[in-house]
Amino acid sequence: MWEEAGERQFFVPAMFEEAVENVSKVRENLRIAQSRQKSYADKRRRELTFDEGEFVYLKVSPLRGTKRFHTRGKLAPRIKQKVGDLAYELELLEHLSGVHPMFHVSQLRKCLRLPEDQTSLEAVDLQNNLEYLEYPVQILDRAEKGTRRTRIPVCKVLWSNHSEREATREKESELQEKYPHLFENE
């Protein structure tokens, strides 16, 4: 081959056509997969609209340090008016006068029961940013989790506003540092 002069063809036209055909097959398969996934998502997607005077549940976020629990408490304010396509103005309680009354529809859920089922504000110390702090009430159990070389003592902790089923496992050293009153009786 070294002695032959002239241009060589790196791509045979048949190989090039095969590559173009394979790319078009891949694009078609991607389009089909995207269409299928969109149809799955559209089945669950629904447009939420609320009327004036209707009660809605407002999402509040319980915090425990930087970790979040699932939302447990819900407030049930009344819709005051619709502002734009995705925003609503709510009639909030006087305790929450520092909170801006406009909320995106993603923060609201339909209220299917009477608002007597709402969480009392006395039971939850709700802050102006619609978050409330969680604090440990009791240590339920102790155990050691470990790797090959180290053992880490952990405690099963019951948190305020949560049931025993929702207790979490936390490092004992972090609990002693943040909440020493839990270990005073020992």
- Domain spans of the chain? 56-132, 136-183
Where does 136-183 sit in CATH, by number? 2.40.50
Q: pLDDT tens-digit profile of 59-96? A: 766 555 434 333 344 566 777 888 888 888 888 777 67
Pull the structure tokens for residue 67.
């970790």
Q: How many residues does the chain have?
A: 186
Question: Rounded mean pLDDT of 99-123?
Answer: 70
Q: pLDDT tens-digit profile of 149-174? A: 888 898 888 887 777 888 888 888 88
Q: pLDDT tens-digit profile of 5-59? A: 666 656 567 778 888 999 999 999 999 999 999 998 888 777 778 888 888 877 7
Where b means 16+ CB within 10 Å and e means fewer, 144-162 reads eeeeeeeeeebbebbbbbb
